[in-house]
């Protein structure tokens, strides 16, 4: 935890430096992947543990609501955070083991062409890896958000955004910074599609 040894100013300076090291093309690719799912009416599933689980819930809410410009008539992204099915998670964890809590939900819900966004600071959480391995085998598009060394997730995800820093707090914060840009970018993309779609026999106007 870098905040134990850095002043507030030095800590924020380090965060700025790490933001500058993020791979911009990888971030833009995630937006492309989600847009393709939107166009194809596919689901986007999001998973994570702990702080990354909270980020998964936050990202899901933002993707569902904050990408909309028209709450009544706009096509919506199908998105679900598997971190929020508390009873299902407890049932699978209690009966079969915590490493199955996301995998088993995907078996109920996922189809080829869907997207799985997996968030893991270490990149080595067994329940994340089991889900991504299954998703890859079943034809889902997989996206990893990782930190530290990237772990196994960085290697098995079809796409990956890596924060190469050994500090979980900053890793989770930078993931969230990226998520907020994704929301804004996807709002722009989805709004353009919505406004160019004919409705009631006439072309929509901005």
- In angstroms, the CA 42 to CA 17 distance is 36
Per-residue confidence of the chain (206 residues) as pLDDT tens digits?
887 789 999 999 999 999 999 999 999 999 999 999 999 999 999 999 999 999 999 999 999 999 999 999 999 999 999 999 999 999 999 999 999 999 999 999 999 999 999 999 999 999 999 999 999 999 999 999 999 999 999 999 999 999 999 999 999 999 999 999 999 999 999 999 999 988 764 444 44
- In angstroms, the CA 59 to CA 137 distance is 25
Strand order from edge to edge, sheet including 43-48: 78-81, 43-48, 115-120, 141-146, 159-162
Q: What is the value of pTM for the model shown?
A: 0.94
The pLDDT value recorded for residue 200 is 62
**Per the domain annotation, does 7 fall within a domain?**
no
**Per the domain annotation, does 203 fall within a domain?**
no
**Per the domain annotation, does 167 fall within a domain?**
yes
CATH of the domain at 129: 3.40.50.10490
Name the domain count of the chain. Answer: 1
- Taken in order 135, 137, 142, 147, the sign of the CA dihedral is positive
**Per the domain annotation, does 3 fall within a domain?**
no
Q: Which domain holds residue 93?
A: 26-63+75-193
**Per the domain annotation, does 97 fall within a domain?**
yes
CA nearest neighbour of 189 among 25, 80, 46, 77 = 77
**Per the domain annotation, does 19 fall within a domain?**
no
**Per the domain annotation, does 37 fall within a domain?**
yes
**Per the domain annotation, does 68 fall within a domain?**
no
């Amino acid at each position: 935890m870098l905040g134990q040894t850095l002043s507030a100013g030095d800590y924020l300076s380090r965060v700025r430096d790490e933001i500058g090291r993020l791979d911009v093309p990888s971030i833009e690719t995630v937006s492309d992947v989600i847009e393709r799912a939107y166009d194809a009416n596919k689901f986007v599933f999001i998973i994570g543990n702990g702080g990354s689980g909270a980020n998964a819930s936050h990202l899901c809410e933002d993707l569902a609501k904050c990408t909309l410009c028209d709450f009544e008539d706009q096509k919506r992204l199908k998105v679900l955070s598997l971190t929020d099915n508390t009873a299902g998670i407890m049932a699978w964890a209690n009966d079969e083991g915590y490493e199955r809590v996301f995998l088993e939900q995907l078996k109920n819900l996922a189809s080829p062409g869907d997207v799985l966004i997996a968030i893991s600071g270490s990149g080595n959480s067994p329940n994340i890896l089991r889900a991504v391995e299954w998703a890859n085998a079943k034809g889902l598009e997989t996206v990893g958000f990782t930190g530290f060394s990237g772990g196994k997730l960085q290697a098995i995800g079809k796409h990956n955004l890596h924060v190469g820093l050994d500090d979980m707090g900053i890793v989770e914060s930078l993931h969230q910074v990226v998520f907020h840009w994704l929301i804004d970018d996807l709002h722009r993309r989805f709004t353009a599609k919505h406004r160019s779609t004919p409705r009631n026999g006439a072309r929509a106007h901005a």
